[in-house]
Structure 1
């Protein structure tokens, strides 16, 4: 399986809430950085993040670009999620994956909330 094929599986797993597939493609010392917010270091910490956010459900997802440069893959698009309290999160995103031996070593996530259109 190529790095791109792995990341396509990971993207699909994000959309369906399958954290086992996502973390199954990560190294034990993986890092996930939400720029401007916080970082999750180590596979167990990332698994805890998913466990703590089980109620978040993706309601729509569009992938605009998947760009591969060796062991680095960038994915951009749009995503909408809801929480258990019904709060809608509607965002643009760009995720940069750094791969090592066909596993995710580092994930850097950029997100920007969509502005509501004025009438």
Structure 2
């Protein structure tokens, strides 16, 4: 199951990188929890949809360094670059 979950996470990143938010959301459950450690947790598909529309002005750039999977849980460690409203790309 762990390898399948890793693959699903990478598919989701690819969908978001292509600007395909709905393709990403198809991989999510209705009770999805998207945790940004030390920042916020987004709960539910609709909340994730709103976050994507607001935050991803252009598709982000992902650099996944490590994927850690245990049972049903997957953690991605890496960097995301987002384009801000002023046109500058920032790493988060």
Flag whether TM exceeds 0.5 (same fold): yes
TM norm structure 2: 0.75
More helix by share: 2
More strand by share: 1
Q: Distance in 2 between matches of 1:4 and 1:38?
A: 22
Q: Distance in 2 between matches of 1:35 and 1:66?
A: 15
Per the TM alignment, residue 79 of structure 1 is displaced from its structure 2 partner at its CA by: 2.6
RMSD: 2.2
1:7 aligns with 2:9: yes
Matched residue count: 90
> Matched residue of 1:2: which SS?
helix
Partner of 1:82: 83
Q: Distance in 2 between matches of 1:87 and 1:46?
A: 23
Per the TM alignment, residue 28 of structure 1 is displaced from its structure 2 partner at its CA by: 1.0
> Structure 1, residues 72-107: CA drift from partner, whole Å, max 9, x if none?
11211223221232132113xxxxxxxxxxxxxxxx
TM norm structure 1: 0.61
Runs of 4+ in structure 1 deviating by more than 4 angstroms, as ranges, are: none
The structure whose Rg is larger is 1
